[in-house]
Amino acid sequence: MVLFPAKKNPLVTNSKKSQKIDTMRGNHTNWSGLLLVLTAGVLAACAQMQQPPVVDKSPVPYKQATEMFLAGYTHIAEKYIEKIPASQMAMEGIRGLGSIDPALTVKRVDDKIFLPTSDPEEEPNYFDAPADNDIKGWADLTVKIWSEGRKASPELFNSSPEKLYEAVFDGALSKLDIYSRYSGLKEATRNRARREGFGGIGIRFKVSSKSVRITRIIKKTPAARSGLLVGDLILRVGSIPVVGLSSRDVSDQLRGRIDSKVKLTISRGSEPTPRIFLLERHLIVAPTVKAKINDGIVFMKISGFNQQTSRDLAKKMQHLRNVHGHKIRGVVLDLRGNPGGLLNQAIKIADLFLDHGKIVSTRGRHPESIQYYEAGGRDIARGLPLILLMDGRSASSSEVLAAALQDQGRAVIIGTTSFGKGTVQTVIRMPNNGEITLTWSRLYSPAGYVLHGLGLRPSFCTSGSGEMKNKDLFASIADEKLVRQAFKSWRNTGIYKQAQRSKLRASCPAERRKKAVEVRAARNLLNNVELYARALALAAFDAKKPVEEAIKAPKQNITNAPQ
């Protein structure tokens, strides 16, 4: 389909009646006009012979669609971190219809919005553009253009309302930033399950072309109580055979309403007859914290931040303290590969290790996006040395936690520069129970610098290293003046100085780290009390004590920390 250049044609209007050519002037016949009408009728008849007319059996849900666009446009206009005119977001959204039918081109010329018709020989329809900030006007117009576009586009005609919402909001949000997005009902349900938990049985599984094998059974879940075993093969969920389904489809079958029942047909080992298990779904919140102790050092791997992360970490730390007591001589939090999650959980964990001071602040355009968080006065590690491991995939809430502990002089970071995702997204429930995830504020570390686009600087950089020797790794903080200047530059480079920020990140490139070099470095650093204290003091934002004085103090604090 081709969109013709806009013309100031008085015969083309929004009204179907006024789109007819007036062939009568007074009481005299306009023969040229009549001939034009007859010719157009012949051409139209030919076109109809070539392509049967589309009969609309699924009328546009005007009310529901208008509610959706009005809600979405309103939230974006009010809450997005930068001010966006309704006209700009709506036009991008309307152009998003091109993702359904690339030939459906929509253009704005001055105060007119042009839409092609089903006949390329006809002038395009046009609509009057609402005022720039008339949100309701733009929501109404979006629905009108959708309705008219269905007449010209079979692809648009055959698309569901949900497909429309996805196309429009993807168009409106994609030009804002990569973290603002729309999720339809199914995806939004999965998102809420990751954040808040879901009705399930408590297993992990692996799908192959021939089987669905249980690989893990989470403790204190219906699966653990039922007698299911790791290695069991799932044949059916209810009456549905699962072999050949995708992982997502298997998950959809296993999950359901809390307290509802699900029947599993299981094949176990060499047993000739499948077993039947009837389980009742409970609220399942995926575990995100793994803890172990080795040679007096507590290692905690945090894979994400959901609603139970801080509680699980506190419980595991308290259990280890109860069992091992004074034998614990340090704590390592492994945040490598952690993409983030719930901001409040990162704040709560920072609060678990800090007894005072700022944790993070958020600032945006909407009044509710401006928040300040401070520590509440307890340290579950009771002053034990704390080390964080980070890499190029440590992002968002991981960076909030790390920045708070580093700036406050509570932890030393080993690894690479982090991802640099320093914005906060608010999740907006839509009328169809989908979601808009919208960036609405930036994160500021206790030192006052913007995390977004920069990330955190580790005290000991492992970028590019294989099996780096400790003496080479730890030599990086030998020059006190140089280290202080490096951290000062990191914290004082403004958000709009992209070239300087890129240069800073390049000094310790962000990388994905899975090797044990960071773990060994953490272990060796905890064995060197003086080096740990020096690194801690140099990275702290507002150290009240000189480095040499700080080095002496931890010797007593570490060895005599109350247990």
Catalytic residue IDs: 396, 407, 421
Structure tokens at 252: 């959809």
Q: Where does 63-197 show beta strands of DSSP type E?
A: 107-109, 112-115, 125-128, 181-183
Looking at the DSSP bridge assignments, the partners of residue 450 are 444
Measured between alpha carbons, how far is 388 from 227 in angstroms, rounded to an integer?
38
Helices in 55-111 by DSSP H: which ranges?
62-79, 86-95
CA dist list (Å): 407 to 15, 220, 456:
64, 38, 10
260: tokens are: 């509802």
Name which of 387, 418, 402 is nearest 521 in CA terms.
387
Measured CA to CA, the distance from residue 204 to residue 290 in angstroms comes to: 16
Q: How far apart are CA 171 and CA 144, in angstroms?
A: 17
DSSP track, 198-246: EEE--EEEEE-SS-EEEEEE-TTSHHHHHT--TTPEEEEETTEE-TT--
| The two three-digit tokens of residue 142, written as one number | 């979006």
Burial class of residue 57, CB neighbours in 10 A (0-12, 13-18, 19+): exposed
First to last CA, the chain: 75
User: Is residue 167 within 8 Å of residue 100, measured between CB atoms?
Assistant: yes
